[in-house]
């Protein structure tokens, strides 16, 4: 199946996510979350709140998955995920590579939460692609640094510039270093599209490494009157910044029983 058809179908199915949460799932909120690989590990947690990690979310459906760690030149330790095969299309060498980059406040889990037949990563694996998924610095998987802690302000001093020109760049090179790979397909969602645009406009040599870019929900300029809540946030941005620095609050919406990614 053509990759463009798969991606469009997935984007329509994303609308279903608006109806997936139930109010009884929202409370109580827990932040001490343990990631596990399978249901048996989940049962051993006792009173602790546990969720399946990417590998667990993928392998429970009979797909094969792998995890890699790489360090950027500025010290951030990133986690890459990969789906190498599916029940319909087992692991084999020479598959075309597609790389998925998540949106803001998300992770690679975003593309595998619902399950086969609906999630983009599963659809692509079923169609015969070697599926790679990135995790930008600061998200639930990439919260490590060679000498900084997420509790330090310096850890969070980055923007789309760094996640695009450093994280995405490093991740693409890692995937292409695998035997037989010369070019990849890039699919970005929301913030992921911004990172792609930043990389390709600043480092045009990377265009030669990419055969196709698909941008889902790319960032645009707001030309209409701003919603009241958005205007309040913008008008008080400095006050919010001062508050966060005073109380050492740097992590926006960390992973909890509400924010799963």
Closest CA to 33 of 179, 141, 187: 141
- The proportion of the chain whose per-residue pLDDT surpasses 90, expressed as a percent, equals 59
Q: Which of 98, 102, 237, 75 is nearest to 158 (CA)?
A: 75
Q: Which domains does the chain have, with CATH numbers?
A: 58-220 (3.40.50.1820)
Distance CA 41, CA 117 (A): 26
pTM: 0.81
pLDDT in tens, 117-139: 999 999 999 999 999 999 999 99
**Average pLDDT for 242-258:** 66
Look at phi and psi of residue 32 and say left if phi exceeds 0, alpha if psi is from -120 to 50, else beta. Answer: beta
pLDDT(259) > 60: no
Beta-carbon contacts of 252 under 8 Å, excluding residues fewer than 6 positions away, are: 105
Res. 225 pLDDT band, cuts 50 70 90: confident
Over residues 85-104, the mean pLDDT reads 94
How large is the average pLDDT for residues 220-232?
78
So what's the pLDDT on residue 69?
97
Backbone angles phi, psi at 18, to 5 degrees: -65, -20
Residue 199: φ, ψ to 5° = -65, -50
Please state the separation of Cα 20 from the chain's center in Å: 19
Q: Is residue 101 predicted with pLDDT exceeding 80?
A: yes
The pLDDT assigned to 84 comes to 97
Rounded Cα distance, 75 and 147, in Å: 8
Q: For residue range 9-62, what is the model confidence (pLDDT) as tens digits?
A: 554 444 344 334 333 344 444 446 777 666 666 666 666 667 789 999 999 999
CA distances from 255 to 24, 113, 240, 260 (A): 18, 15, 20, 5
Q: Do 134 and 166 form a contact (C-beta atoms < 8 A)? A: no
Does 160 have pLDDT greater than 80? yes
pLDDT reported for residue 218: 92
The pLDDT confidence band at residue 229, using thresholds 50, 70 and 90, is: confident
pLDDT higher than 50, residue 204: yes
Helical axes 237-246 vs 228-235, angle rounded to 10°:
60
């Amino acid at each position: 199946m053509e990759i463009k058809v798969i991606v469009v179908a997935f984007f329509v199915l994303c609308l279903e996510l608006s109806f997936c949460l139930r109010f009884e799932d929202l409370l109580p909120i827990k932040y001490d979350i343990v990631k596990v690989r399978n249901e048996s590990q989940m049962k051993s947690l006792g009173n602790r709140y546990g969720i399946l990690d990417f590998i667990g979310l993928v392998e429970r459906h009979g797909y094969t998955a792998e995890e890699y760690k790489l360090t950027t030149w500025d010290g951030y330790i990133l986690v890459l995920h990969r789906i190498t095969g599916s029940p319909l299309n087992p692991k084999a060498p020479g598959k075309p590579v597609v790389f998925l980059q998540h949106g803001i406040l998300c992770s690679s889990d975003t593309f595998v939460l619902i399950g086969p037949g609906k999630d983009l990563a599963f659809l692509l694996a079923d169609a015969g692609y070697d599926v790679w998924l990135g995790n930008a610095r600061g998200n639930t998987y990439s919260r490590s640094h060679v000498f900084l802690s997420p509790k330090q302000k310096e850890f969070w001093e980055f923007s789309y510039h760094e996640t695009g020109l450093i994280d995405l760049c490093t991740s693409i090179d890692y995937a292409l270093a695998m035997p037989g790979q010369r070019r990849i397909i890039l699919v970005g969602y929301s913030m992921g599209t911004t990172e792609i645009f930043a990389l390709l406009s600043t480092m045009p040599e990377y265009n030669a490494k990419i055969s196709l870019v698909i941008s889902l929900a790319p960032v645009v300029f707001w030309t209409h009157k701003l919603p009241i809540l958005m205007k309040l946030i913008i008008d008080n941005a400095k006050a919010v910044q001062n508050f966060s620095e005073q109380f050492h609050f740097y992590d926006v919406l960390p992973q909890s029983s509400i924010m799963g990614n």
